[in-house]
Amino acid sequence: MKQGHQIIKDLTVANWMINKWIYVLSTNSMKEAAKFFNKIDADFITVIDNGKPIGIITGKSIVQAFLDHGENMPVTEYMSRNHFQLVHADQFIIDVCKLPSSNCLVVDDEHRLIGILTSNEIQRGLVHYINELDQSFHSAEIVEVILESAYEGVAMVDRNGIIVEFNEAYSRFTGVDKKDAIGHPVQEVIENTNLHRTVKTGIAERGVIQYIQGQPMVVHRIPVWRNGELVGAIGMLIFEGVTELYQIYDRYQEKKQKMKNEKYPKKEISHQLQSDNYLEQIIGQSEELAKLKRMTRKVAQTEATVLITGDSGTGKELFVKSIHHLSDYKSGPFVCVNCGAIPEQLFESELFGYEDGSFTGAKRGGKIGKFKLADNGTLFLDEIGEMPLTMQTKLLRVIQEKEYEKVGGLTKQPLKARVVAATNRNLKVMVEKGTFREDLYYRINVIELHIPPLRKRERDIPLLISSYLLTICKKYNIQKKDITAEAMGVLMKYKWYGNIRELINTIEKLVILTEGDMIHYHHLPNYMKREEFTIDNQLSPMHQVKHQEHMRESELIKITLEQTGGNKTKTAQKLGIHRTTLYQKLKKFGIEM
């Protein structure tokens, strides 16, 4: 138990709270609060008076204010004074779980706000702890402490989908005693659960709706991996009683639909949908990605020049589009220029445009350049590291002076576009070598958003695979396919040198070529399986022996099946095992005959 207490000491509120947050003053209106609420990822906004928290504004209270036509009323009229807790930074997450509300405001000794803590941070802290346990999946004593301290329903299953832990909150909600739940298949205890599939596929599901006793619940289903093996899964009930919120939202939507033609032009609604969609298209739950999304929302609201860096295939353009559609330039065009695809002699005319007759071969009437096309919008300079030095000098002058001239032109034109750049090259090294201007580098790099490679975001790989499996199956009108835990383990270990682009191509190939509705280990490309074997060599000797035994057993079964022409009865006899055992092993190793 000492080890458990030591780990708990590391789970203080200070380690998991959100240090930077958006708040409103007690004098702000609900309309102003709604604008702020749209910019955050949290479930509430704190109301401050003289630096001290006095209440919170939730999505529910904002909807209610608009229904009451009270959007111009001060926030104090609609804020909640009860549905939050004040906590200190040195408290433990385990203690916070015992509080009646998961909306926590972190204060110092003078009761001034220093951070916030929502259910998301609490969940991440507990899941992080569970994943870090060095003991076996269901034997650690401290897990029981966490389970019984959590006010949400928490259930844990082993690799076979059998319930091994079931906390009192889940017991109260379902009406099933803990002793009657543990040891039983989860689908027999929890209505409409999907945990038994989570331990087969290794794919996490977060924030999904599950109906229990006719009531919609928001749940997380999180696979638990240990040494590359899927050993179980955790199911968490996040919100109870979301029906009332749905009803209020439905009433708001009906009212909004009636007023849409008068108050909300189609163009404006379209841009709002786009702004939400682009950021949501960036799939992942890793801390690195969550931090990037928060930074994207912040920088989008400013005029700062942004440089997006990262390996090829990491999805840099999606972040640029998110910045555009979340900014004040969203009503203008989004113009992309691939600096690596334009010949050096055409660069200036492509960016600035040219006047009629400015050079031999010029198009009659001249040409509008990319800067002009991007007026009141965003100009995205992709692969800016490929831009010639001569053009870098001219680009620097344009960004500094906010104006440019057409080729052959005599008058200057104002730069009305926001410039965002991206590169997969190391510009600092290029500056040292003299192939990229230092002054331009610091001009475009006011804020840098670095997208980590997929191999450093292992937690996001199952989510990406799940999403693209569904998308690609729909694209080709193919029945939905799943993937075994063994195959998922290999894909999670693979380095993904081509990042998300390589992952999409791999999933597309597997969907097209795999017969049946399940992708098994043997369906994976050989180079991925070879890399997995290399990684396994770095593990413990016992793990290596186990892996090699499985490989030999699988190969023996395949050879015997071939010798008997696929006759399973004869194969079982030759192997000296029962026919039922053979079927179990065929399923285990993903052997199809």
Concatenated DSSP letters for 84-147? Answer: -EEEETTSBHHHHTTSS-S-EEEE-TT--EEEEE-HHHHHHHHHHHHHH--S-TTT-HHHHHHH
- According to DSSP, residue 454 is labeled G
Which residue's entry shows tokens 């609609």? Answer: 78
Distance from chain centroid for Cα 189: 30
Query: Which numeric CATH code is attached to 152-243?
Result: 3.30.450.20
- The phi, psi pair for 32, rounded to 5°, reads -65, -40
Q: Please state which architecture CATH assigns to domain 279-451.
A: 3-Layer(aba) Sandwich (3.40)
Q: What is the pLDDT of residue 357?
A: 67
Q: What is the pLDDT of residue 104?
A: 85
Right CATH for 542-593 from 3.40.50.300, 1.10.290.10, 1.10.10.60, 3.20.20.140: 1.10.10.60
Concatenated DSSP letters for 176-234? Answer: --HHHHTTSBHHHHSTT--HHHHHHH---EEEEEEEETTEEEEEEEEEEEETTEEEEEE
Q: What is the pLDDT of residue 509?
A: 94
Domain ranges, ordered by start, for the chain: 2-124, 152-243, 279-451, 457-539, 542-593
pLDDT in tens, the chain (593 residues): 344 444 444 567 888 888 777 789 989 999 998 888 877 766 788 999 888 899 999 888 888 888 888 889 999 998 988 778 888 887 777 667 666 667 788 888 888 888 888 777 777 776 665 555 434 444 444 455 445 545 468 888 988 899 988 888 788 777 888 888 998 899 889 988 989 888 888 887 876 778 876 677 778 888 887 777 788 888 887 654 444 444 444 444 555 555 555 544 444 333 333 444 577 778 887 888 888 988 898 899 888 899 999 998 899 999 999 999 988 898 899 999 999 888 888 888 899 988 876 666 666 778 889 999 999 999 999 999 999 999 999 999 999 999 999 988 888 999 999 999 999 999 999 999 999 999 999 999 999 999 999 989 888 898 899 889 989 999 999 988 889 888 888 898 889 989 999 999 999 999 999 988 899 988 998 888 876 555 445 544 555 555 666 677 777 888 888 788 888 888 888 888 877 778 778 877 777 65
Distance CA 569, CA 580 (A): 10
Q: Which CATH class is domain 457-539?
A: mainly alpha
Right CATH for 2-124 from 3.40.47.10, 3.40.190.10, 3.10.580.10, 3.90.550.10: 3.10.580.10
| pTM (predicted TM-score) | 0.54
Beta bridge partners of 215: 212
Contact predicate 106/114, CB 8 Å: yes
Distance CA 494, CA 530 (A): 10
Residue 479, C-beta contacts closer than 8 angstroms, at least 6 positions apart: 473, 517
Distance CA 6, CA 123 (A): 19
Distance CA 323, CA 200 (A): 38
Structure-token pair, residue 316: 């840099």
Q: What is the pLDDT of residue 462?
A: 87
Helix axis angle, 541-563 to 526-536, nearest 10° = 140
Q: What is the pLDDT of residue 592?
A: 66
- According to DSSP, residue 161 is labeled S
Q: How far is CA 231 from CA 31, 219, 312, 337, in A?
A: 48, 20, 34, 47
User: What's the Rg (C-alpha) of the chain?
Assistant: 28
Which residue's entry shows tokens 């739940």? Answer: 181
